[in-house]
Amino acid sequence: MPALQIKPNVYWVGAIDWNVRDFHGYSTPAGSTYNAYLVLDEKTALFDTVKKPFASDLINHISEVTDPASIDYIIVNHVELDHSGALPEVVELAKPEKIICSPNGKKALLAHFHREDWPYEVVETGSQISLGARTVRFIETRMLHWPDSMFSYIDEDKLLISQDAFGQHWATSERFDDEVDQSELMYQSAKYYANILLPYSPLVQKLIADVRSRGLAIDMIAPDHGLIWRSSPQRIIDAWERWSRQESREKAIVVYDTMWQSTETMARAIAEGLQETGISVRVMSLANVHRSDVVTEILDSRAIVVGSSTINNQMLPRVSDLLCYLKGLRPAPKIAAAFGSYGWGGEAVKQINAAFEEMKFEIADDGLRVQYVPTTEDLGRCAELGRKIGTLIKERAS
């Protein structure tokens, strides 16, 4: 994929990672991109770099546009290594006049690369620099999602370079939002929000209000991952605002792991009970579905029902993994219930309930346990649990 002009004298010079399948616990079956942007003006500026193994792609793409040695400023909007890994190599080639970053960005760059001799220039919210015909304004976006994160906004191009914000992990040969399948684009965007931004939702709300109050005219958003929003930048801002409110709908997920299909049979019966009350249900087996896809479905669910068999007095490891991951993402409280089959101890239900309590979920039921294989009567109790949760879901909407 060659360098691509996205605005007059503004180029995408990033890299496409077709092969990455895991982003520290987040599955990326469609790969990702590490976007970097080059602006040619009286001063030549590079906004972010790429993951270290892709340094040559970045340098080749810059070279298609200009001599890398002509880069005057490198703007580090975000220090995480998927965007700064290639920085030492670029600094070596470009010998830039300035490396521009936020106050926390400087601290993070020093802690990553240990280079006191780099020409740092620290900028804060409200700072601006001139590139010649263009002015770049900076807005710190602390903890979205790292302390160092910031936006760069170019007035003359109405271009917001947003680092991780508004991105997706999706490797494509297309670079713009209007060139790809729209439902996949929004699914990948929601997955990205649910798995990375969810814990910072109150800060996302503040940031969007802040950006609105600045009255920035934005006609393009260029994130550091995935597609560039040129046809409808407002659409992704609105989606982020909606996701940050964590609005739920009449939807439940039944997620489980099972040893001998008894817990699975219970899951299906609970789902049928939910369906009887008119609730939209997703049934997800952790043997087949990745934790990050479960979390994506949780984003707009009003209830979560978690099932596990008991093994060696514990819940199954995949269930424990999901609950640990979910706890870190600090979702808004959900209606919750636990279930599972057991042989002699049956501790899993109690342990799942303890995790629900830690997350301040509304536990709808003490939990449903069945010894070994469910009887018809047991499955009736499962369906009854589903109906009970479905009724609560509807009550919470009113």
The residues binding ligand FEO (CB under 6 A) are 78, 80, 82-83, 145-146, 164, 224-225
Ramachandran bin of 69, using left for φ above 0, alpha for ψ from -120 to 50, beta for the remaining angles? alpha
Q: Give the DSSP letter string of 80-148.
A: SHHHHTTHHHHHHHH--SEEEE-HHHHHHHHHHH--TTS-EEE--TT-EEE-SS-EEEEEE-TTSSSTT
Q: Which of 61, 78, 83, 290 is catalytic?
A: 78
82 is catalytic: yes
Nearer Cβ to ligand FEO (142/268): 142
145 part of the active site: yes
Looking at the Cβ atoms of 138 and 200, the one nearer to ligand FEO is: 200
Minimum distance from CB of 141 to ligand FEO (Å)?
11
Assign residue 149 a region (left: φ > 0; alpha: ψ between -120 and 50; beta: otherwise).
beta
C-alpha–C-alpha distance, residues 147 and 11, integer Å: 27
Query: Does the annotation mark 64 as catalytic?
Result: no
Residue nearer to ligand FEO on the CB measure, 225 or 290: 225
Q: Compute the least distance from the CB of residue 82 to ligand FEO, in Å.
A: 4
Q: Which of 61, 145, 169, 290 is catalytic?
A: 145
- Which one is catalytic: 41, 48, 57, 80? 80
Q: Is 164 a catalytic residue?
A: yes
The answer to whether residue 112 is catalytic is no
Is 114 an active-site residue? Answer: no
Q: Smallest distance, Å, CB 154 to ligand FEO? A: 21
Cβ nearer to ligand FEO, comparing 254 with 295: 295
Active site residue 225: yes
Give whichever of 145 and 318 is closer to ligand FEO, judged by the CB atom.
Answer: 145
Which listed residue (17, 57, 82, 264) is catalytic?
A: 82
Q: Residue 350 Cβ, how far from ligand FEO at the closest point, in Å?
A: 37
Evaluate the omega torsion of the peptide bond into residue 114 and state whether it is cis, within 30 degrees of 0. Answer: no
Question: Shortest distance, CB of residue 292 to ligand FEO, whole angstroms?
Answer: 15
Neighbours of 71 (CB within 10 A): 21
Shortest-Cβ-distance residue relative to ligand FEO: 80
Which residues, in sequence order, are CB contacts of 114 under 8 Å at separation 6+?
A: none
- How would you class 253 by CB atoms within 10 Å of its CB: exposed for 0-12, middle for 13-18, buried for 19 or more? buried
Positive or negative: CA dihedral 340, 343, 347, 350: positive
| Annotated catalytic residue 290 | no
**Of 61, 169, 225, 290, which is the active-site residue?**
225
Supply the residues annotated as catalytic: 24, 78, 80, 82, 145, 164, 192, 225
